Amino acid sequence: MKSNTGSFNGYIRSELPSSLEIFTWELAQKYFLDPNFGGALVNGRRNVFTTTADFTGIAFLTEPQHLSPLISRLRVQTNSQADAEWDLDYDFKKHRVNASTALVNYHIGEFTFGGGDAYVQSLPGLTGSFAVQQDFNQFRVLFGYGHPNKRGFSGASSFGFDANLGFLQYATLQTSYNWDCCGATIEYRRFALGSVRNENQFRFSFTLANIGSFGNLRKQERLY
């Protein structure tokens, strides 16, 4: 499917010898030449195509349309200690916010504090002639100490609270200890998603310096 994408990026850099990108703002929107997507679109249903999922990650098609929602990606890092990000998807056709995610992190020495809010207004899931609307609003809190290469103890914990249903959806606790030759990391993760997912997970990773690591805890899943 052919499409046109427009975007705008703004940058502000400090005048210090070691430059720091403190402000980035990206705006983008797609234009679909064929609003019916070659006949693949089913009117009145939730449609997910590669060209739309890769762009926003949030389904927005229930009828033919030329324009995708406008996405905004704002990132601010005033110094090496603080950074923030706000991602927003606004659908002009439906006149609503499809998704909004805000994240803030602050570092004090070896300590890290973070928080965020993720809001998603999903499309109705249609069953016959009945539509069920599912909105998600979750708050996240992160506390951490240390970093992956720190000798000795490091640890972090993260919690996710569902604001709509009023209960703790997930909790994660990770801890590491590094020696000169090797290091070990263990994690406990709890999911409480009702009938969708309700389980406890235990993961670990053992690393040998200059050789590699093994275990079921991947690097991108670490909290610090």
pLDDT for position 117: 95
Amino acid, res. 52 = T
Report, as ranges of residue numbers, the positions in the chain whose pLDDT lies below 50. 1-17, 126-133
Considering the entire predicted model, what is its pTM?
0.71
| Strand pairing category for 3-13 and 21-32 | antiparallel
* φ, ψ of residue 41 in degrees (nearest 5): -75, 130
pLDDT for position 166: 85
pLDDT for position 5: 46
27 exposed, middle or buried (CB, 10 Å; 0-12, 13-18, 19+)? Answer: middle
Nearest to 24 by CA among 69, 97, 78, 68: 78
pLDDT for position 19: 66
CA distance 56 to 48: 11
pLDDT for position 46: 85
